[in-house]
């Protein structure tokens, strides 16, 4: 629900979006949190289902093609996003371009991918935020 409620607000503000996963395999949703009585969310889900079923591969996403990045929660965000080199590169590119990065619930776990090394020491891109 946190994904689609947020996307509904983004859509109403005039944004379009794509989806990406580390593997390029379909987006896995935690349907136990689905707002069953929200027809606007259900309609948006149906509209976006083709993109959810065939997301982009994260390594193929270029920051320059987007206004920003949104990483929603769900427990899956904690599985492979924190160690994804492709996500780390994308986050650094978005940050360097001054574009927004929005996270929600478990989504901030993906920010760990933006850890880099400087002089052999780990440096977290978002340290101090």
For CA atoms 22, 74, 72, 43, the dihedral sign is positive
> What is the crossing angle of helices 39-53 and 2-12, to 10°?
100
The rounded distance, in Å, linking the Cα atoms of 73 and 69 is: 13
Strands (E), the chain: 20-21, 56-57, 69-71, 101-103, 115-118, 121-124
Check if 33 is active-site: no
From the list 105, 108, 115, 126, the catalytic residue is 105
Active site (catalytic) residues: 105
């Amino acid at each position: 629900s946190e994904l689609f409620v947020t996307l509904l607000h983004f859509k109403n503000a005039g944004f379009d979006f794509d989806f990406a996963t580390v593997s390029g395999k379909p987006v896995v949703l935690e349907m136990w949190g689905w707002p069953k009585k929200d027809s606007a969310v259900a309609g948006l889900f149906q509209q976006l289902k083709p993109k959810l079923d065939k997301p982009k591969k994260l390594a193929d996403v270029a920051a320059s093609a987007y206004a920003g990045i949104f990483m929603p929660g769900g427990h899956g965000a904690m599985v492979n996003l924190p160690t994804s080199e492709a996500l780390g590169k994308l986050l650094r590119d978005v940050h360097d371009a001054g574009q927004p990065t929005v996270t929600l619930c478990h989504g901030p776990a993906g920010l760990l991918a933006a850890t880099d090394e400087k002089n052999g020491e780990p440096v977290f891109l978002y340290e101090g935020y």
